[in-house]
Chain A
Amino acid sequence: MSGVTLKRLNKTFGELPAVDGVSIDIREGELIALLGPSGCGKTTTLRMVAGFVEPSSGSVHFGERDVTRVPVHHRNVGMVFQGYALFPHLSVAKNIEFGLKVRRWDRTRVQKRVDEMLEWVQLGRFSERRPRDLSGGQQQRVAVARAMAIHPDVLLLDEPFSALDAKLRLQMRSEIRELQREAGITSVFVTHDQEEAMAIADRIGVMNHGKLEQLGSAQDLYLRPASRFVAGFIGKCNVLEGRIAGTRQFETKSGQQLQYSNEHAAGSGALCFRPEHGELVRAARADANNISVTLKAVTYLGADTEYELVADNGERLLVMAASSSVAGAAFKAGERLVLSWRSQDSFVVD
């Protein structure tokens, strides 16, 4: 068991950089999610940790051990594949014991470990079944048991829930999270689903175009996104184009003065705030950012109600408010209103 360190990992396929200078320090026992759209380099990064892809430059360390040039089968990684990749010709028990057999464990030790794993994932009575006779969730548990049986240094999960239906996905998500915590194993998990990443990861690395855009807790990413991409990828976000006009002062393209709260170098950028931080009022508020808007549409979503707005310069904005709040009920589509939000909820990104 160890932490995992990725140092300036690069991978180019031909001319194309697939992974571009990714450095991550994964603490022992931590679960990191690599999140991003398809083609962002998250899977290639995972495959470099596993050893299936050799980095063009940079290094991978398991604890103190530099494994960059170590072939997959000597790396001691547990991997759960997209679609599980169970051996179709072997029973559940034989799938789990595979890694132990190639490690030449003696028979009693293998048997003991297999029984342990079967019990851990609660598949004891399915041990003689073939993978095709199991449900998706059960297959997934076999895949996890098989990967964990070998006492890996690190557990790698490649879109492990993508083959499951929505309901089972939620269940397996928390199951895997529990199993991972229980085993205390350092894990890297690849997904394109931000909700999934936020639900189970200790920290999330958001990737785009081969680069690690930001690494942080779900809260960090949501409340203090480092880039416009992260702001837009994690949750919904209102974006106002403009430039930095002074200390914590932002000027929109149409010349409106707004305040924001984060540190940001001078120059052009975009001021962002989350839809739930905005409030619709009839008159501008003191000590807040205000812009005048026209209410385009009101969508009732149950607990929340969504207000679609258009600013005077044509920018589209969104406000989300609890449906139970009385204030919203009075507004009608087409009305001219003021969108108001606190400067401490505003942040500027490139």
Chain B
Amino acid sequence: MSAARTIYLLLVVAILAFLVAPLVVIVWASFFSDKILSFPPGGYTLDWYARAWQQPDFVAGFLMSIKIALCAMAGSLLLGVPASLAIERFRFPGRESVRQLLLAPMYVPAIVAGAAVYLYYIQFEISTEVQLAATFPGLLLAHTLVALPWTMRLICASLATTTGIAEEAAQSLGANALQTFFYVTLPIIRPGLIAAALFSFIASFSELEESLFLVGPGKTTLPIAIVNYLEWNLDSTIAAVATVQILIIGTALLVSDRYVNLGKAF
């Protein structure tokens, strides 16, 4: 093995360790038995998981996050699939601008976007008397916006792998637009669709910054519940909750990797 290769390998291992170490520490810490997080641990226990589950804030936050992530996933697919189809299959003026616009939420810092959405909701409420800030629909809209670019990226990428000629074949065989979509387009982009669903779920489930502006009292999401808890406590409950979160997101990532080559979509 050459020296260059050794250095390269060491670098890769170092970067990987740097990325994974915090996760390992969190998972490890969730089993510490000490009342206050300390190192080295005095012993090990599963108590923290039980305790986390007894905290109403975490349970409510967890359920809220799941609910909002599922809704945001559905919303981003309902908007993202037709939008991707239009962008990938048709030529119209401003096509590239529309694409960039729909991908934009990915590039705007979430805290900025959160403030912007909040201000917009307030203005909206002043002029229409419809309250969006601190409501579930308001939060859902914002989360859909966060999830949408992920759906767009993945669906566009899987549409781009076929040229639309299979759809033309379906039409020539007598299929109308709906039949073509459901019998041909949808099955062809199915892997991308599954990945898009999982990614928009993850994007919403782990969203913190925008939600900070938009949640109502007693209706927080899990990441916010974690932040709130951290302000006053430093025990392993948080590690246990985070471990559960890591498990859910990790599983979703592993599953979507089975369906699409994620490297290709980004």
Chain A contact residues, CB within 8 Å of chain B = 50-52, 71-79, 81-83, 85-90, 98-99, 102-103, 146-147, 150, 156
Contact = CB atoms under 8 A, between A and B. Distances in A.
Contact of B174 (A81, A82, A150, A156): A150
B246 interface: no
A103 B188 contact: no
B179 interface: yes
B168 A102 contact: no
B170 interface: yes
B165 A83 contact: yes
B175 A102 contact: yes
A85 B188 contact: no
9 contacts: A73-B171, A73-B174, A75-B172, A79-B172, A83-B165, A86-B166, A88-B188, A150-B173, A156-B172
Given A73-B176, A98-B183, A102-B179, A88 B166 contact: yes
B146 to A, nearest CB: 31
Interface of B: 165-166, 168-176, 179, 183-184, 187-188, 190
Contacts of A99: 173-175
B172 A50 contact: yes
Which 8 pairs from chain A and chain B are nearest by CB?
A99-B173, A85-B169, A79-B172, A85-B165, A89-B187, A72-B171, A102-B175, A102-B174
B173 A81 contact: no
A112 B187 CA distance: 26
Contact of A79 (B169, B176, B179, B190): B169
A298 B190 CA distance: 61
B172 A77 contact: yes
A81 B183 contact: no
Contacts, number: 67
A130 to B, nearest CB: 12
Contacts of B171: 52, 71-73
Contacts of A150: 173-174
A223 B223 CA distance: 82
Given A98-B183, A102-B179, A85 B174 contact: no
The listed residue with most A CB atoms (<10 A of its CB), out of B165, B173, B179, B183, is B173
A137 B165 CA distance: 19
Contacts of A83: 165
A52 B164 CA distance: 12
Given A81-B165, A87-B184, A98-B183, A147 B172 contact: yes
Given A87-B188, A88-B188, 17 more contacts: A52-B171, A71-B171, A73-B173, A73-B176, A74-B174, A78-B172, A79-B168, A79-B172, A81-B165, A85-B168, A85-B169, A87-B169, A87-B187, A99-B174, A102-B183, A147-B173, A150-B173
Contacts of B183: 98, 102
A75 to B, nearest CB: 8
B173 A98 contact: yes
A98 B168 contact: no
Contacts of B165: 81-83, 85
Contacts of A147: 172-173
B141 to A, nearest CB: 34
Given A52-B168, A81-B168, A89 B173 contact: no
A103 B169 contact: no
B3 to A, nearest CB: 44
A109 to B, nearest CB: 15
Contacts of A77: 172
Contacts of A87: 166, 169-170, 184, 187-188
Given A81-B165, A83-B165, A88-B188, A98 B172 contact: no
A77 B173 CA distance: 7
Given A89-B187, A89-B188, A98-B183, A103 B168 contact: no
A39 to B, nearest CB: 18
A307 B213 CA distance: 85
B134 to A, nearest CB: 45
A105 to B, nearest CB: 11
